[in-house]
A and B are shown apart, each in its own frame.
Chain A
């Protein structure tokens, strides 16, 4: 019992550490003027998030997060930054009085979104009572249940998603053509 308690406290602490990493990464991505640095900060945020996913028990999603987000998407961002040769000089400076307005906006949105989420939580049933499941093992993020859900209940969205990917590929190559008049 005690062990269990210690374990969950440790989980919380780990979550806090990686959460702070992700948050600082996000904040730097928003604030830094040099686009290269901004993208790299976002990579940091993504990696922090991936760690959070692992802590939550979603190993598979964490891995995907590292591969797709940190690996593929943000690398594309970097490519584009280099392709259009974006330098700090191209970025308009942040408006004056950012500290005040930015903090205000941040506070308001954070409060609103958080209170929405908490309201939802308060309406939740207690899972242990409602479902009577053992909660020691968290299997939701492992491959077998995801695969099962993907190929049974969500087979159609899954197929539609593949079509969307094809459309994305075709669209991107069309957009990136050099001498194509739109």
Chain B
């Protein structure tokens, strides 16, 4: 019943994008109807969400939406069709649900912008691409969505393309993503050459030899590091904050960056055959979480702090996926979507109010904008892992999974577990620092702050409610059964089996993780809640060079510049000085001379004496016949 509307659910955002894009392009008067444009964009996404939600309510078995033939080059047959199972439906719900709220918020945030039509068209196109990505039943279609979200991200990061640094940031994001995409493409082709099929449902049934699984797994993980901002391809995400803040919330926190996690959960059958790759994934995830968390403690740009926090939280998810606990990873995707979107939208509201992104010029804002302030605090507590907010449940599940894996004999995972505990402390610390410096104390800026309009605060409240409630879909074994992990996702995801932990161990883990969060928060309070910026100076003096290193974001960008960009320039110069002149001047000149000589030679044959032409004709004809006789 509802299933027949599913193509509409995917298509509506596309229709919205096309109508808004072409309308804005051709009908100049439409561009000023910003409220109208925003409403249409929001309505399409909301309708899409409604259909997915109804599907969710009546869900009983995986649905397939058959499309039409896409490529039919025998023996390869590729259909454009979608697969709605529990995993993809859950992702679609996150994308459209959070997407609706962010569209709504954008109406207020972009109310003054000239190019709102462009913005909303790309935002809708992004939702469409993301839906294609998660619902695709074959790898090429997934790749299509994968590229689509990358392109939309490029367009939206470069939304204010008049400023060069924004355009550069957009290009950086795109190129970094392209490096990852190469992995996905190569992995996809490798799989096809081994199995002869692109369909995920078919691929699932095949037993893979270990080396293929490792190779393809590493390639797919490379793709995931690109899209989900993990080491070594994470540097684009902090720069991506050049785009409008709702874009950062939607794309660079809640949805697109989780595509890597989704890919790994989707291809779980492959990673099950390659435990080595899983160890690598977990390690990279834990390392990224640590690096992101460390850098976030020493920055002053509110959006950059949140960006590194996202990198760090994505590291958590990868650590979980690497432990084989895909359900825990998806659970964290779900809760993180709520509180990170909430935090980003809150920061957008703050930026909107004070006109700067520097937290040194904020302070005491909770008095001026209470809704933003309180909801932001809720987000902070959630990400710090304070029960019963959403972040606590998912983070706890991840830590428990890592601990269980370590206990199952793979001691490396104890190391990851320890690292993530440190990150949990750091998370609570930098988020506490951010919140106290922004919302408490006295105002240090110049512009008079004001609360945002209700079209912006409404999504904040909705997300705050979600942040409080979302965790309860995945209760820890201590309190009951996790509905999300044990009932819903298990229908389409096969996590590696872990030995069940004893209740006492579990209680110990919970106490530790909550304790670490509380310690982090109270450290932040002791420092920043009392002395505010003075504590900041003291701290930076205390750690000295390390402070500079961290506030320069570990100088990874400069490293990449030295290692990759500079040699490329050298190569380009070589090409310019040697290869270029040779191919552009000497070689064509030589060729032309050669052809000219041949032409002069041949022109003697064309003497204008027709009988000789006839003779050539007859002679060549006879020679051809003779050749046929001989052959």
Q: Please give the residue numbers on chain A whose beta carbons come within 8 Å of chain B beta carbons, in ascending order.
A: 108-109, 112-113, 115-116, 119
- B window 548-595: CB within 8 A of A: none
Q: Which of B295-303, B477-485, B623-631 lines the interface with chain A? A: B623-631
Cβ of B622 under 8 Å from chain A: yes
Number of A-B residue pairs with CB-CB distance less than 8 Å in the complex they form:
13
10 further contact pairs, Cβ within 8 A, besides A112-B622, A112-B625, A116-B628: A108-B622, A109-B618, A109-B622, A112-B626, A112-B629, A113-B625, A115-B629, A116-B625, A116-B629, A119-B629
Complex CA gap A108/B626 in Å reads: 11
| Nearest 8 pairs of A and B residues by beta carbon | A116-B625, A112-B625, A112-B622, A116-B629, A115-B629, A119-B629, A112-B626, A116-B628
Complex CA gap A109/B626 in Å reads: 10
13 contacts between A and B (CB under 8 A): A108-B622, A109-B618, A109-B622, A112-B622, A112-B625, A112-B626, A112-B629, A113-B625, A115-B629, A116-B625, A116-B628, A116-B629, A119-B629
Q: Please give the residue numbers on chain B whose beta carbons come within 8 Å of chain A beta carbons, in ascending order.
A: 618, 622, 625-626, 628-629
Name the B residues within 8 Å of A113 (CB-CB): 625
Complex CA gap A113/B621 in Å reads: 10
Complex CA gap A76/B252 in Å reads: 84
Complex CA gap A116/B622 in Å reads: 10
Q: Which residue of B lies closest to A113 (CB)?
A: B625
What is the minimal beta-carbon distance from B627 to any residue of chain A, in angstroms? 10
Name the B residues within 8 Å of A119 (CB-CB): 629
Name the A residues within 8 Å of B629 (CB-CB): 112, 115-116, 119
What is the minimal beta-carbon distance from A124 to any residue of chain B, in angstroms? 16
A112, A113, A115, A119, most chain B CB atoms within 10 A: A112
What is the minimal beta-carbon distance from A74 to any residue of chain B, in angstroms? 22
Name the A residues within 8 Å of B626 (CB-CB): 112
Q: Which residue of A lies closest to B630 (CB)?
A: A119
Q: Which residue of A lies closest to B626 (CB)?
A: A112
What is the minimal beta-carbon distance from A30 to any residue of chain B, in angstroms? 14
Complex CA gap A108/B625 in Å reads: 12
Name the A residues within 8 Å of B628 (CB-CB): 116
Complex CA gap A119/B625 in Å reads: 11
Name the B residues within 8 Å of A116 (CB-CB): 625, 628-629
What is the minimal beta-carbon distance from B469 to any residue of chain A, in angstroms? 72
Complex CA gap A109/B629 in Å reads: 13
Complex CA gap A169/B546 in Å reads: 93
Q: Which residue of B lies closest to A115 (CB)?
A: B629
Complex CA gap A115/B627 in Å reads: 12
Complex CA gap A109/B624 in Å reads: 12
What is the minimal beta-carbon distance from B103 to any residue of chain A, in angstroms? 57
What is the minimal beta-carbon distance from A101 to any residue of chain B, in angstroms? 12
Complex CA gap A112/B625 in Å reads: 7
Complex CA gap A128/B393 in Å reads: 88
Complex CA gap A168/B430 in Å reads: 89
Q: Which residue of B lies closest to A108 (CB)?
A: B622
Complex CA gap A112/B618 in Å reads: 12
Complex CA gap A116/B629 in Å reads: 6
Complex CA gap A113/B629 in Å reads: 9
What is the minimal beta-carbon distance from A24 to any residue of chain B, in angstroms? 23
Complex CA gap A119/B630 in Å reads: 10
Complex CA gap A119/B629 in Å reads: 7
What is the minimal beta-carbon distance from A79 to any residue of chain B, in angstroms? 24
Q: Which residue of A lies closest to B618 (CB)?
A: A109
Name the A residues within 8 Å of B622 (CB-CB): 108-109, 112
